[in-house]
């Protein structure tokens, strides 16, 4: 079991009190791919951020990779066990593709000099996402699809067991979206990673082994 | 360290972050200026303070041990006054140190100890404690110290200043006094050759001093030729006049001096066809500066011709005096082979050589004709005066001239010169009245007492002289009059050494007889140093405020930077960066800016200090008057960078910029990554 969420509650008090998650239970096995669909404003991204320890639930238990994620050092969990892929890519703009991919390794205080293991791994990841010739390009010079591929490579930099993708194709055209799915799933499959993705796209949802719908603050199959 | 690399990335100016870049630049410039100001100001004031302190204590020592009232009331001190061995007089510290007997009292010979006298302070063995010797031993056991007794007393000095220079017609008639006497009540202090500051404050011997010595010796002719001869030998054994200059009224030379077949431009003083005198300038160009008719003289076959106003030369008839113009420089060497047979000063002759308009003019001058311009000193010979940098163990004493004394600068400014003679007068009580005693003295050198309040009235003489005069004032037991000077290698150690001495005194059981003071506690330095210290403290406070204001720019810049980098903060947090790491990134930004500003400021300050004098000269020239009064600040301002100032600015700017970075850093670390990432 890579992720276990028990009775996750989340409510916002501002501007008006709103109970958004009403006791979510979720279990994800190693190598399992999960999609969460739902209407806009249902709390999909909030749930994903809670699962990724970016946000604290009001109530509930969360266990990631065997650690209690509400008590354990959340930054370390994010750095080691989780890789994020966002809809808006969220790359560091003044850095090259390689520097972006290497950032999680730097945060983990690993050597990132040229020729180091981390650097070689990052170059391999960029090659795997088809950006071999864009390694030293500033990310500002890349297209949307390329940026998302860099983001996927970055999410995999520290070899996490769980990938959380928040509408990974939201800002891409169909062709690019399919390329991203292919890359994402080939990694998940080859390296036995677990994937939780929030999406509106049925194609992506269909590619996942388990599909959930978030409705009225609860998950339904 | 990823925080460092991210911080440096943020600090690189980018067009996209123009406002941040401008504010950063302004912050760095302001910090640099403030640091520059502080380092320059502190370095100069620190140097000045050190210089002033050195001058203030030039005549004493950084640590001084003086007897307390209990010492003067002790059996140990009083017993000498009733002991035959001590001549029935109380003894100075130096005498006590040199005496063989701790207790000179002999009940067999000496009167009975008066009723009510203090009881003797005995040691464990039952012997009288030797308070002075124990004190010296206690001081000597403190590493790096040297102790010397000092004595000081008050007396009168009368100094005769014989000036036999010819009357200058152009001068002020008031200057024409031939003999003057300076008289003043002075503090007579013992000369201490171990004082390291003394050589630094001694004035070098000048040509005027050498001239004065020669003139004074010449005047001894009146008393006896033997005395003149002895003095002159003494002087010329020590000093060799090498160059002279002609006096104000010019130097009369004979026609024989003019070389054959040599045309020389002269200025003729004439009325009609009568020629009164010829003036010969050293350089042809000077001819226009002299009043008179320009002319050319030439000597052919022993006959002189004169050509005036482009007329053909005419023979120069009769005796016409020829003068070398004033200030003509020439070289001299002693001609008289032996001074032993000289009966009169006029017999002492010098070979003189003047280079005039390219021609060599050789003549013989008497000692009374020469005005020394340059001289060399034979340091190996027994000296008559105290030279700069090399102090003798004791001041010289000359049976003809008396005891050598050193006078403060103010006397030099009043016209006194080395070689001037006079006497110290003091009074000794006799059975019925006070009798005036005189000790003949001569001036052997001058020192700069600096800003010591009574410095202008301190005179240095050998211990023996001070002791004689002080014995005339037996009740003179103020701390100024007798004590122990303790010299130490570093002024900053004064407090530690004072504590060590006090501890040793306590262990020896003599602490109540002695008072130990550092230079900061002397009555003549206390107020001044406290004033300096409070001014420095005030400026430190002001500079702290200025640094805070300068560093406050960092706060605004970092707050803008945090707002600018919000998204990146969220991204880094999503990748596992801790809130501490985020705070560290912005903290580093603050410190780097503070340190960068400091470094630039320090570099500017070093550059300024290196060229300080040129800068001051330039400003003084621009404003038309001296920027700093040399009497108070010295001829040049100190330009050594103060380590204290460097440490102060580096630590304070680093600390303040760190504090300035803390608020934005905390703000950055408290941002919720989820909220940031969703705001896109």
Q: What is the pLDDT of residues B523-560, one digit of tens each?
A: 778 888 888 889 888 988 998 888 888 888 888 888 88
Tell me the two tokens of residue B510: 């003599």
Where is B412: in which H helix or E strand? helix B409-413
Cβ pair B574:A52 closer than 8 A: yes
Any chain B CB within 8 A of the CB of A191? no
Instruction: Give the mutation candidate from A12, A14, A58, A78 for the B interface (greatest B CB count, under 10 A).
Output: A78
The Cα angle at residue A58 between residues A55 and A59, in degrees rounded to 5:
115
Q: Are strands A194-198 and A33-37 parallel, antiparallel or unpaired?
A: parallel
Q: Is B373 helix (H, G, I), strand (E, B) or coil?
A: strand
Residue B230 domain-assigned? no
Considering the domain architecture, whether residues B512 and B552 belong to the same structural domain is answered as: no
Residue numbers of the domain that contains B110: 63-145+488-521
How high is the pLDDT of residue B166? Answer: 43
Give, as one character, the DSSP assignment of residue B128.
B
- Closest alpha carbon to A197 in A145, A71, A187, A125: A187
Whether ipTM > 0.90 holds is yes
Residue B216 domain-assigned? no
B167 falls in which pLDDT band (50, 70, 90)?
Answer: very low
Which residue(s) pair with B275 in the sheet?
A: B270
Any chain A CB within 8 A of the CB of B88? no
How high is the pLDDT of residue B436? Answer: 85
Tens of pLDDT, residue by residue over B40-50, are 988 888 888 88
Closest approach of A190 to chain B, Cα-based (Å): 23
Residue B652 domain-assigned? yes
Q: Is B584 helix (H, G, I), strand (E, B) or coil?
A: helix
How high is the pLDDT of residue B504? Answer: 94
B217 falls in which pLDDT band (50, 70, 90)?
Answer: confident
Closest approach of A49 to chain B, Cα-based (Å): 7
H helix runs in B575-642, sequence order: 579-610, 612-623, 630-633
Closest approach of B2 to chain A, Cα-based (Å): 6
pLDDT at B507 over 50: yes
Cβ pair B9:A94 closer than 8 A: yes
CA gap A169, A85 in Å, rounded: 10
Q: Is the dihedral of CA B446, B182, B463, B154 positive or negative?
A: negative
The answer to whether residues B275 and B282 touch, using CB atoms and an 8 Å cutoff, is no
Considering the domain architecture, whether residues B582 and B562 belong to the same structural domain is answered as: yes
Q: Which residues of chain B neighbour A81 with C-beta distances below 8 Å?
A: none
Q: Which residues of chain A neighbour B14 with C-beta distances below 8 Å?
A: 94
Tens of pLDDT, residue by residue over B583-615, are 999 888 888 888 899 999 999 999 998 988 888
Considering the domain architecture, whether residues B368 and B267 belong to the same structural domain is answered as: yes
Pick the last residue of a domain from B325, B352, B376: B376
CA gap B365, B243 in Å, rounded: 13
Chain CA centroid to CA B151, Å: 22
Give, as one character, the DSSP assignment of residue B382.
P
Closest residue in B to A75 (Cα–Cα) = B576
How many domains does chain B divide into? 4
The answer to whether residues A69 and A162 touch, using CB atoms and an 8 Å cutoff, is no
The answer to whether residues A154 and A131 touch, using CB atoms and an 8 Å cutoff, is no
CA gap B134, B65 in Å, rounded: 13
How high is the pLDDT of residue B500? Answer: 94
Considering the domain architecture, whether residues B593 and B675 belong to the same structural domain is answered as: yes
Any chain B CB within 8 A of the CB of A107? yes
pLDDT at B410 over 50: yes
H helix runs in B180-287, sequence order: 198-201, 207-219, 225-238
What torsion do the CA atoms of B361, B364, B365, B366 make, to the nearest 10 degrees? 180
CA gap B332, B320 in Å, rounded: 25
How high is the pLDDT of residue B379? Answer: 65
pLDDT at B260 over 60: yes
- The B residues from 5 to 34 touching A (CB cutoff 8 Å) are 5, 9, 14
- Closest alpha carbon to B131 in B191, B77, B54: B77
How high is the pLDDT of residue B655? Answer: 86
Considering the domain architecture, whether residues B364 and B256 belong to the same structural domain is answered as: yes
Closest residue in A to B580 (Cα–Cα) = A75
Cβ neighbour number for residue B34 with a 10 Å cutoff: 22
Q: How many inter-chain contacts (A to B, CB under 8 Å) are there?
A: 66
Considering the domain architecture, whether residues B368 and B453 belong to the same structural domain is answered as: no
Residue-range domains of chain A with CATH:
3-220 (3.40.50.300)
Q: Which residues of chain A neighbour B571 with C-beta distances below 8 Å?
A: 90-92
From residue A196, give the alpha-carbon distance in Å to each of A27, A37, B53, B352, B524: 11, 11, 78, 112, 85
B175 falls in which pLDDT band (50, 70, 90)?
Answer: very low
Any chain A CB within 8 A of the CB of B679? no
The answer to whether residues B671 and B679 touch, using CB atoms and an 8 Å cutoff, is no
Q: Which of B576, B674, B677 sits opposite A90 (nearest CB)?
A: B677
Q: Which of B568, B672, B673 sits opposite A92 (nearest CB)?
A: B568
Q: Which residues of chain A have pLDDT under 70?
A: 71-72
Residue B232 domain-assigned? no
State what percent of residues in chain B have pLDDT above 90: 13
Which residue(s) pair with B519 in the sheet?
A: none
b/e map of A190-212 (b: 16 or more CB within 10 Å)?
A: eeebbbbbbbebeebbebbebbb
Instruction: Give the mutation candidate from B11, B576, B675 for the A interface (greatest A CB count, under 10 A).
Output: B576
pLDDT at B360 over 70: yes
- Average pLDDT value for residue range B451-480: 74
The answer to whether residues A199 and A171 touch, using CB atoms and an 8 Å cutoff, is no
Tens of pLDDT, residue by residue over B88-111, are 888 888 889 988 888 898 888 888
Considering the domain architecture, whether residues B186 and B79 belong to the same structural domain is answered as: no
CA gap A6, A61 in Å, rounded: 5
How high is the pLDDT of residue B107? Answer: 87
Residue B228 domain-assigned? no
- Closest alpha carbon to B556 in B14, B38, B25: B25
Cβ pair B677:A52 closer than 8 A: no
Any chain B CB within 8 A of the CB of A80? yes
Any chain A CB within 8 A of the CB of B677? yes
Which residue's structure tokens are 């939780």?
A196
How high is the pLDDT of residue B177? Answer: 47
The answer to whether residues B598 and B33 touch, using CB atoms and an 8 Å cutoff, is no
Q: Within 13 Å and on the Cβ side, how many CA atoms surround B582?
A: 29
How high is the pLDDT of residue B171? Answer: 38
Considering the domain architecture, whether residues B83 and B186 belong to the same structural domain is answered as: no
Q: Which residues of chain A neighbour B574 with C-beta distances below 8 Å?
A: 52, 54, 78, 84, 86, 90
pLDDT at B53 over 90: no
Closest approach of B674 to chain A, Cα-based (Å): 5
Cβ pair A90:B674 closer than 8 A: no
Q: Within 13 Å and on the Cβ side, how many CA atoms surround B408?
A: 21
Q: Which residues of chain B neighbour A104 with C-beta distances below 8 Å?
A: 575-576
Residue B161 domain-assigned? yes
CA gap B252, B444 in Å, rounded: 33
pLDDT at B480 over 70: no
Any chain A CB within 8 A of the CB of B568? yes
Considering the domain architecture, whether residues B666 and B541 belong to the same structural domain is answered as: yes
> What are the DSSP calls for B137-193, one per residue?
HHHHTSTT-EEEEEEEEEEEEEEEEE--PPPPTTS-GGGG-SEEEEEEEEEEEE--T
Pick the last residue of a domain from B323, B346, B376: B376
B619 falls in which pLDDT band (50, 70, 90)?
Answer: confident
Closest approach of A210 to chain B, Cα-based (Å): 25
- The B residues from 239 to 298 touching A (CB cutoff 8 Å) are none
Q: Which residues of chain A neighbour B1 with C-beta distances below 8 Å?
A: 109
The answer to whether residues B76 and B68 touch, using CB atoms and an 8 Å cutoff, is no
Residue B214 domain-assigned? no
- Closest alpha carbon to A148 in A175, A111, A124, A115: A175
CA gap B577, A80 in Å, rounded: 11
Residue B479 domain-assigned? no
H helix runs in B565-578, sequence order: 566-574
How high is the pLDDT of residue B599? Answer: 92
Considering the domain architecture, whether residues B283 and B324 belong to the same structural domain is answered as: yes
CA gap A16, A19 in Å, rounded: 10
H helix runs in B57-115, sequence order: 69-72, 75-78, 93-98
CA gap B68, B135 in Å, rounded: 13
Cβ neighbour number for residue B4 with a 10 Å cutoff: 12
CA gap B126, B114 in Å, rounded: 21
The answer to whether residues B513 and B483 touch, using CB atoms and an 8 Å cutoff, is no
How high is the pLDDT of residue A72? Answer: 59
Considering the domain architecture, whether residues B254 and B370 belong to the same structural domain is answered as: yes
Q: Which residues of chain B neighbour A49 with C-beta distances below 8 Å?
A: 674, 677-678
Q: Which residues of chain B neighbour A92 with C-beta distances below 8 Å?
A: 568, 571-572
From residue B573, give the alpha-carbon distance in Å to each of A205, B180, B590: 28, 92, 21
Tens of pLDDT, residue by residue over A82-92, are 999 998 889 99
Give, as one character, the DSSP assignment of residue B387.
P
Q: Which of A78, A86, A91 sits opposite B576 (nearest CB)?
A: A78
CA gap A105, A156 in Å, rounded: 10
Considering the domain architecture, whether residues B155 and B45 belong to the same structural domain is answered as: no
Q: In what order do the strands lie in the sheet with A67-68?
A: A18-28, A3-12, A59-64, A67-68
């Amino acid at each position: 079991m890579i992720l276990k969420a028990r009775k996750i509650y989340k409510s916002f008090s501002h501007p008006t009190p709103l109970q958004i998650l009403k006791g979510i239970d979720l279990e994800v096995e190693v190598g399992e791919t999960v999609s969460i669909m739902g209407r806009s404003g249902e709390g999909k991204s909030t749930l994903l951020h809670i699962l990724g320890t970016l946000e604290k639930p009001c109530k509930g238990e969360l266990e990631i990779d065997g650690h209690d994620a509400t008590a354990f050092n959340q930054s370390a969990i994010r750095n080691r066990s989780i890789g994020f892929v966002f809809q808006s890519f969220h790359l560091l703009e003044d850095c090259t593709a390689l520097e972006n991919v290497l950032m999680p390794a730097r945060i983990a205080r690993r050597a990132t000099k040229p020729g180091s293991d981390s650097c070689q791994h990052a170059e391999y990841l960029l090659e795997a996402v088809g950006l071999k010739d864009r390694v030293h390009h500033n990310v500002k010079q890349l297209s949307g699809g390329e940026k998302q591929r860099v983001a996927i490579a970055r999410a995999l930099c520290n070899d996490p067991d769980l990938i959380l993708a928040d509408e990974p194709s939201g800002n891409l055209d169909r062709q690019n979206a399919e390329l991203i799915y292919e890359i994402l799933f080939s990694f998940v499959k080859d390296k036995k990673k677990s994937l939780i993705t929030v999406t509106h796209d049925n194609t992506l949802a269909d590619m996942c082994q388990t599909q959930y719908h978030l409705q009225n603050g609860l998950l339904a199959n | 360290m990823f925080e460092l690399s991210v911080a440096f990335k943020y600090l690189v100016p980018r067009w996209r972050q123009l406002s941040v870049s401008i504010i950063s630049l302004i912050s760095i410039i302001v910090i640099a200026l403030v640091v520059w100001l502080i380092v320059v100001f502190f370095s100069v004031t620190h140097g000045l303070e050190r210089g002033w302190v050195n001058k203030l204590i030039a005549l004493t020592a950084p640590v001084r041990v003086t007897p307390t009232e209990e010492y003067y009331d002790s059996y140990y001190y009083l017993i000498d006054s009733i002991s035959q061995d001590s001549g029935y007089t109380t003894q100075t510290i130096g005498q006590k140190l040199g005496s063989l007997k701790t207790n000179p009292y002999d009940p067999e010979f000496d009167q009975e100890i008066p009723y009510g006298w203090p009881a003797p302070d005995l040691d464990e063995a039952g012997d009288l404690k030797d308070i002075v010797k124990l004190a010296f031993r206690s001081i000597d056991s403190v590493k790096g110290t040297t102790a010397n007794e000092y004595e000081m007393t008050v007396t009168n000095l009368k100094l005769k200043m014989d000036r036999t220079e010819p009357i200058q017609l152009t001068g002020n008639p008031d200057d024409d006094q031939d003999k003057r006497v300076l008289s003043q009540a002075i503090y007579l202090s013992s000369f201490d050759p171990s004082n390291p500051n003394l050589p630094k404050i001694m004035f070098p011997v000048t040509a005027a001093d050498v001239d004065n010595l020669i003139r004074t010796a010449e005047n001894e002719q009146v008393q006896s030729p033997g005395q003149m001869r002895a003095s002159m030998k003494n002087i010329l054994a020590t000093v060799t006049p090498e160059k002279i200059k002609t006096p104000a009224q010019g130097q009369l030379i004979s026609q024989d001096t003019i070389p054959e077949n040599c045309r020389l431009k002269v200025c003729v003083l004439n009325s009609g066809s009568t020629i009164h005198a010829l003036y010969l300038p050293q350089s042809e160009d000077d001819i226009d500066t002299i009043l008179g008719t320009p002319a050319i003289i030439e000597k052919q076959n022993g006959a002189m011709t004169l050509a005036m106003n482009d007329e053909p030369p005419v023979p120069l008839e009769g005796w016409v005096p020829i003068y070398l113009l004033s200030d003509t420089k020439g070289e001299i060497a002693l001609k008289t082979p032996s001074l032993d047979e000289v009966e009169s000063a006029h017999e002492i002759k010098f070979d003189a050589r003047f280079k005039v308009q390219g021609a060599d003019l050789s003549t013989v001058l008497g000692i009374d004709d020469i005005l020394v311009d340059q001289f060399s000193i034979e340091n190996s010979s027994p000296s008559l005066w105290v030279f700069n940098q090399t102090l003798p163990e004791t001041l010289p004493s000359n049976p003809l001239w008396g005891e050598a004394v050193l006078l403060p600068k103010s006397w030099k400014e009043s016209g006194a010169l080395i070689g001037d003679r006079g006497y110290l007068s003091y009074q000794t009580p006799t059975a019925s009245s006070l009798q005036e005693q005189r000790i003949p003295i001569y001036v052997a050198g001058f020192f700069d007492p600096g800003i010591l309040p009574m410095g202008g009235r301190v005179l240095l003489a050998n211990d023996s002289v001070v002791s004689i005069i002080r014995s005339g004032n037996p009740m003179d037991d103020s701390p100024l009059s007798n004590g122990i000077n303790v010299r130490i290698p570093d002024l900053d150690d004064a407090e530690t050494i004072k504590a060590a001495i006090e501890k040793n005194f306590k262990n020896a059981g003599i602490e109540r007889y002695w008072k130990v003071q550092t230079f900061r506690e002397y009555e003549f330095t206390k107020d001044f140093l406290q004033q300096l210290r409070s001014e420095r403290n005030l400026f430190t406070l002001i500079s702290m405020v200025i640094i805070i204001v300068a560093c406050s720019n960092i706060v605004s810049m970092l707050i803008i930077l945090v707002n600018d980098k919000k998204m990146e903060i969220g991204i880094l947090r999503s990748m596992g960066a801790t809130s501490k790491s985020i705070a560290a990134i912005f903290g580093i930004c603050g410190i780097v800016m503070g340190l960068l500003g400091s470094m630039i400021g320090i570099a500017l300050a070093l550059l300024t200090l290196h060229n300080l004098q040129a800068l001051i000269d330039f400003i003084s020239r621009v404003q038309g008057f001296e920027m700093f009064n040399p009497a108070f600040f010295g001829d040049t301002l100190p330009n050594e960078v103060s380590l204290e100032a460097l440490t102060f600015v580096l630590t304070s700017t680093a600390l303040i910029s760190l504090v300035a970075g803390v608020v934005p850093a905390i703000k950055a670390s408290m941002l919720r990554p989820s909220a940031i990432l969703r705001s896109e």
